[in-house]
Amino acid sequence: MTVVASFLVPVHPHPLLAPEANEGYGRLRAAFEEAAARIEASGADLIIVYSTTWPSIIGHQIQADPNPVWNLVDHDFHDLGTMHYDFQIDAEFAHAWRDAAEQRGLTARTVNYHGFPIDVGSVVSLSLLNRNNRIPAAIVSSNVYANRAETTVLAKSCIDAAQAAGKKVAVVAAMSLSNRMFTRRIEPEDDRIHSLKDDEWNSKILQFLGDGRLEDVGQLSRTIHNQIRVQKVVAFKPMWFLSAMNDHRNDLTGEVLAYEALHGAGGAVVHLDPASNGKGDKEYDEEDVEVFGGDRNVLDTESDNAEDGTTAPQAPASSPGSGPALWDPVEGEDAVNTDTAPKPVGAYPHARRVGDMLYLSGVGPRQPGTNAIPGGPIHDEAGQPLDYDIKAQTQAVVTNVERVLKEAGGSLEDVVDVTSFLVDMDRDFAGYNEVWAETLGKVGPTRTTLAIRALPTPIAVEMKVVAHLPK
C-alpha cells in the first residue's frame, strides 16, 4: 500500500502561533498533535503536502531544497509572530515526482533555492505534523489553471514515484473548508464561522469525510467552491488531489478530529484511513485521466494549430522518438479498445473477447498519450544503449494490462495465463520477477518467460495476457 494515511488540515497560523488565544485554536492544535501521532503510527516514511497557499503558474512546482530554513510571517496575521521553519525535504523523491509528472504529460519543475518562500499552509502543516522533523517531506504547489483532470494526473504521478521508490506516504491537504474570513480584525474570543451557510456546508463536507466518502466530496468540489469559497486563485482542488491519491475511493475510514473557526474560515483536521469502512461503494463517474493533454506548451508555436487552441504535450525525452508508426486500434464486434492504453504499433485491437475469455495483444510499458516509457527507453534513436529501469517498465506493463481489463469489465484478478518477453534475460529477470511477485504473482496466473532479441519499440518487456472474465 502506497498511501497509508491522508489528512486535511487548516492553513492559518493560529494553531501554531496562538493556540492559547481561543479554545477552538487550542482544540485544533490538539488535533494536529493527534494527527502527528497517527502519522508516526502509520509507518509513513514520506509526508506529501499539497497546499492551497502555494499557487503556481508554470506547471507544478515541487520543493527540492533538502533543508529549507527561514522565518515566515503571515501577510495578514503578522502580529501573531514569526514562524521559524527548518524542514527535511526528500529531494530525491521530488526529482522522481517531477520526472513522473512529465512522463504523464504535465509541466513540472523542482525548486531548490535558498530563501524560497515556503507558503504558510505548508509551514503550519509540517511544523505541527512532523514536529521532530523525523519524516522527510515533499511539498507541491497548487496550479492556478489546473482543472480536475490535471490535478488527478498530478496525484497519479506522485503515486508512480512513490511506488517506484517503495515509499509509504502520508498525504496532507493544507486547506480551509469555507475560506471566508472576517474582513475586519476580530478578537479571538469573538471568532466563529463567518456565516450559518458556511457552517452548514462545512458540516455537510465533514459528515461525508467522517463517513470516508472522499470521492463524493471530490465530485462536489466545484459546487462547494461556488457556495462557500471566496473566489481566490486556487479553487477547492485539494479534494481532487486527495481523492486521486486514494484511488477515488468512497469507503475510507474517516474521522473528524476537530472543526473550528479561524478568523471566520472553516478549519478542520480530518484523518482518512485507507482501511475500508465496509460500507459505501465507489461511485466514480468522471473520466479517470491517466495522461494530461491540456493546454501545456502553448508557447510551442509550431504545434499551435489545434482547432480548440490547445496543443498536445511534447513527447518527453524518454519517448521512443522515431519508432514505428502508431495505429488506432482495430475496431470490431468483439474488440476491446481503450484510450487509456497505448496505441498499437500495427493493425490490431487492444484485446478481443471470445465468450468469457479475453485475449490481449502484447502489452508493453508505453504510456497512452505521450508514448513515454516509464523507466526510460533501452536505446536512443541512434541505437545506442541507454540505462533503464526494468522494474518501472514492468510495473507500467501491468498497469496497461489492468487498463485494458478494466475496459472489458474485468481486473487483474481475472488473468489466467501470461507469456512474458524480455530482451535481456540476464539483466532484467530479477527486477521483472520482483514486480511480478507484487502484482500478478498475487493473482496466480500461469506464466512463461522468454528471452527475445528485440521488440518493436525500445522497451525491455512485453506481456501476452489471457483472462477469464467474470460473468
Partner 1 sequence: MGMGGGQIVAGCLAPHPPHLVYAESPPQNEPKAEGGWEQLRWGYDRLRASLADVEHDVVVILSPHWQTYVGTHFLGLPRFEGFSVDPVFPNLFRYTYDLSIDLDLAEGIHAEAMSAGLDAHMMRNPDFRVDYGTITTAHLTDPSWSKPLVVISSNRSRHYYSVEVMQEMMAELGRATRKAIEASGKRAVVLASNSLSHRHFTTEPEVPEDMSHEHITSHAMHLWDMRIIDHMVNGRSKQLLDEMPEFTDQAIAETDGGALTWLLHALDLPDYNATLHGYGTVIGTGNAIVEWPAWRHREDSA
Residues that bind partner 1 (CB under 8 A): 54-59, 71-73, 75-79, 81-82, 107, 111, 113-117, 119, 143, 145, 180-185, 230-232, 263, 295-301
> How near is the Cβ of 185 to partner 1 at its closest, in Å?
6
- Output 180 or 352, the one with its CB closest to partner 1: 180
Backbone phi, psi, residue 153, to 5°: -65, -35
Nearer to partner 1, 51 or 457 (CB): 51
User: Which of residues 91 and 412 has its CB atom nearest to partner 1 in the complex?
Assistant: 91
Task: Tell me how far apart the alpha carbons of residues 78 and 141 are, in angstroms, rounded to a whole number.
Answer: 23
In the complex with partner 1, which residue's Cβ is closer, 298 or 451? 298
The order of strands in the sheet holding 169-174 is 108-111, 60-63, 137-143, 46-56, 169-174, 3-9, 265-273, 253-262
**Distance of closest approach, residue 339 Cβ to partner 1, in angstroms:** 23
Nearest approach, Cβ of residue 225 and partner 1 (Å): 12
For the CB of residue 107, give the shortest distance to partner 1 in the complex, in Å.
Answer: 5
Cβ of 114: how many Cβ atoms within 10 Å? Answer: 8
Query: End-to-end alpha-carbon separation of the chain, Å?
Result: 29
Residue 72 in contact with residue 123, Cβ under 8 Å? yes
C-alpha cell at 285: 463517474
Q: How far is the CB of 132 from partner 1 (least distance, A)?
A: 24
**Beta carbons of 336 and 353 less than 8 angstroms apart:** yes
In the numeric block, which cell numbers belong to residue 418? 501470461
- Quote the least distance from Cβ 84 to partner 1, whole Å: 9
Residue located via cell numbers 464486434: 333
Q: What is the DSSP string of 330-366?
A: PP-TTEE--TTSPPPSSS--SEEEETTEEEEPPB-SP
Nearer to partner 1, 198 or 247 (CB): 198
Query: In angstroms, what is the minimal distance from the CB of 299 to partner 1?
Result: 5
When the beta carbons of 180 and 248 are compared against partner 1, the nearer one is 180
CB closer to partner 1 out of 42 and 370? 370
- What one-character-per-residue DSSP string does 386-429 give? ----HHHHHHHHHHHHHHHHHHTT--GGGEEEEEEEES-HHHHH
Instruction: State phi, psi for 457 to the nearest 5 degrees.
Output: -115, 165
